Amino acid sequence: MISRDEYFMREALKEAQKAFEYGEVPIGAIIVANNKIISKAHNEVERLKDPTAHAEMIAIATALEFFNNKYLDHCTLYVTIEPCPMCAGALSLTRISKIIYAASDIKYGYTLFHPSILHKKTEVKNGILKDDAIKLMKSFFENKR
């Protein structure tokens, strides 16, 4: 039996696969509240021609609209790759309860630049389905070369 975290990370990986198929950097994100998926998103930077259209940013906007609130302090974000500083800053402002990411981002991950940017109450966990997320990213960039 798979864990709840693994189940939701698999859903985030499905979003990352969509990004891959659309020629976007394959990152997927979902936001969960009370064990229910509230929002799903994948990178849309190329399609929207918007460098801020990261999976996390789109998932945040959808979840905030769903709750008609500026806070996600009762939600968990599942994302396939560690958030960048921009996304981490936005997540901090939402006071999100928990962030779970599969793999670290060794170039742009927020922990490389400003590890304390998140809200002080936000819990962080990583490594869930890490190998799957890394494999998808490597495959994407190998195809770009």
Taking only the tens place, the pLDDT of each residue in 81-135 is 999 999 999 999 999 999 999 999 999 999 999 889 999 999 999 999 999 999 9
Model pLDDT, residue 114: 87
Distance CA 117, CA 112 (A): 11
Task: List active site positions.
Answer: 56
**pLDDT tens-place string over residues 15-59:** 999 999 999 999 999 999 999 999 999 999 999 999 999 999 999
Task: Output the CA torsion sign for 47, 133, 123, 65.
Answer: positive
Pure H helices in the chain:
4-21, 45-48, 55-67, 85-94, 110-113, 130-144
CA atoms within 13 A on the CB side of 58: 21
pLDDT at residue number 1: 85
Reply yes or no on whether the pLDDT at 144 is more than 90. no
Give the whole-angstrom CA distance, residue 128 versus residue 133: 9
Decide if 102 contacts 135 (C-beta within 8 A): no
Number of other residues whose CB lies within 10 A of the CB of residue 113: 11
- Tokens describing residue 91: 């997540």
